[in-house]
Structure 1
Amino acid sequence: MRLENIVMQACDPQATGRFWSAALDLVDTSPAGPDDYEGRLWFGEAAWLDVCIERVTEPPPPGWRLHLDLRGGPQRDQVVERLIGLGATRADIGQGEVPWVVLADPDGNVFCVMEERAAYRDTGPIAALPLDSADPARDAELYAALTGWVRTQGVGPTTLRHPSMRGPLLELCPQPAPKARQNRTHLDVRPTTGGPNQQGLVELALSLGATLATDDWAQGHPWIVMRDLSGNEFCVLSDEDLS
């Protein structure tokens, strides 16, 4: 199994996709839907994540339980200016005086450009994926089982990373408040050859406390929408690439 997609929502996936393609130097690929966007971020010879943007009718409301932290490092300010030139805007979400810069993409999805941190070595342009959690250690057990990612030293209290020790960190962070609505950014996991199939991954997730999403919008897809123990949505994709 693998962590395959970072899925974001936008009213205009094509315009937002053009921004993220340029911002992250993605390799554009074929999206699931004709109005959507998908691009691949390589961070090793066989290690990658797809950034997928799907259409919604309304822009994201305030509050993001999962967002992207981009690597800025010593060139943070130059990175910020480049992103603003691509269409990002500065955002105030009550962050106060912090060493990172908060921006929003053209559709209003908030992300951060981070200062230099030792933990971000070899991450590539996405330094981290911070995910709000009611119990970071508990939720990390679920995501480690579903993705094959391993625990590592990071910035958050509990951090997972691809076993190659390259690419972004998945940081499980103490939530400031309980989940109140569907997340506008979520993760997808995919069965792979030699591991459990889609139903096997679903059963594994259920055994670790995840639940099936029963909302109408979550039904009728080739993927299965689930929620972790903190309520964050994630999807278990189909077996289509198993051989």
Structure 2
Amino acid sequence: MALRPVQVNIKAFDGPAVGRFWAEALGWSAYSPGVTTYAGPAGGLVWPDPVGVGIDVVPVPEARTATKNRVHLDLATRSAAHQAELVAHLEALGARHVDVGQGEVPWVVLADPEGNEFCVLEPREVYGDTGPIAAVVVDCVDPRAMARFWGTATDWTLHEVTDDQAVLRSAEGVGPYLEFLRTPDVKSVPDRVHLDLLPYPGDDRAAEVARLHTLGATDLDLGQGDVPWTCLSDPEGHEFCVLSPS
């Protein structure tokens, strides 16, 4: 039994517009299989057995508040020139520069059209083969505890764990990293961005959810009603969903 991260879920007041932004930002295509807008590599949807991590933008009636998201994306670049070109491209799509207290750093902090923060990194060799998304980054209080939970909850490989960060990646060594970075503040409000996990074909969602409960996950009621996925929180309160495998 195992779960794999398959998409970053972003809530948006204008879901189609935000979905198109991310598709164009990453050089991907946007699909609308239902009420959501899915951004993924060209070639069509890959459900029910995706091979990478996409972005699913879900329309919600509430606009984003000023509270900083505790989950964000880091985008990879190949050179200083590529970083500058990508930033300019993103600005043309509607991204804006934001100050989250980063100070003088070699990466650029931007926000999508609805204010969701993300970073355009300077070239780093470690992200040379990730594709456009270098990492999904999660603020946390205890990276070691997050490594224990997420390293057991998923089938991703733990690459590094210290008091300051924990780093995981697909066992196949493809796609983005999942990074937990220590921050002094604790989670206090629901996030606009979270991960969706998927069982492998033939595995049972209910059994996976029961396993996650034993690891410290708790049930989460967001008013979702009767849906074919299960909303949970990890031990620090980060929301995530377990999708149906079919």
Using the size of structure 1 for normalisation, the TM-score is 0.88
Decide which of 108, 111, 117 is 2:115's aligned counterpart.
Answer: 108
Q: Is 2:101 the counterpart of 1:94?
A: yes
Q: CA deviation at 1:136?
A: 1.3
1:69-128 C-alpha deviation (Å, 9 max, x unpaired): 111342211211111112211112222111110111111111110012222120111111
Decide which of 59, 73, 82 is 2:64's aligned counterpart.
Answer: 59
Using the size of structure 2 for normalisation, the TM-score is 0.87
Q: Which runs of 5+ in 2 are unaligned?
A: 43-49
Decide which of 225, 232, 239 is 1:226's aligned counterpart.
Answer: 232
Q: Which runs of 5+ in 1 are unaligned?
A: none
1:66 partner amino acid? V
d(CA) in 2 for partners of 1:163, 1:32: 31
Quick one: structure 1 residues 226 and 204, their matched pair in 2 at CA, closer, same or farther if it must change by over 3 Å? same
d(CA) in 2 for partners of 1:109, 1:72: 20
- Does the CA contact (< 8 Å) of 1:154 and 1:169 recur in 2? no
d(CA) in 1 for partners of 2:67, 2:119: 15
Q: Is 2:205 the counterpart of 1:193?
A: no
Quick one: structure 1 residues 12 and 189, their matched pair in 2 at CA, closer, same or farther if it must change by over 3 Å? same
2:10 partner amino acid? M
d(CA) in 1 for partners of 2:143, 2:97: 29
For 1:94-243, list aligned pairs within 5 A. 94-153=101-160, 157-194=165-202, 196-215=203-222, 217-240=223-246
d(CA) in 2 for partners of 1:92, 1:221: 37
Deviation larger for 150-159 or 131-140: 150-159
Q: Could you tell me the percent identity over the aligned residues?
A: 37
d(CA) in 1 for partners of 2:245, 2:119: 34
Which residue number in structure 2 is paired with residue 14 of structure 1? 16
CA RMSD of aligned residues (A): 2.0
Quick one: structure 1 residues 123 and 221, their matched pair in 2 at CA, closer, same or farther if it must change by over 3 Å? same
State the secondary structure of the residue aligned to 1:102. strand
State the secondary structure of the residue aligned to 1:130. strand
How many residue pairs get matched? 233
For 1:29-68, list aligned pairs within 5 A. 29-33=31-35, 36-41=36-41, 47-56=51-60, 57-68=62-73
- Does the CA contact (< 8 Å) of 1:6 and 1:52 recur in 2? yes
State the secondary structure of the residue aligned to 2:53. strand
Q: CA deviation at 1:41?
A: 3.9
Q: CA deviation at 1:20?
A: 0.6
Q: CA deviation at 1:47?
A: 2.6
Which residue number in structure 2 is paired with residue 71 of structure 1? 76
d(CA) in 2 for partners of 1:134, 1:219: 31
- Does the CA contact (< 8 Å) of 1:60 and 1:109 recur in 2? no
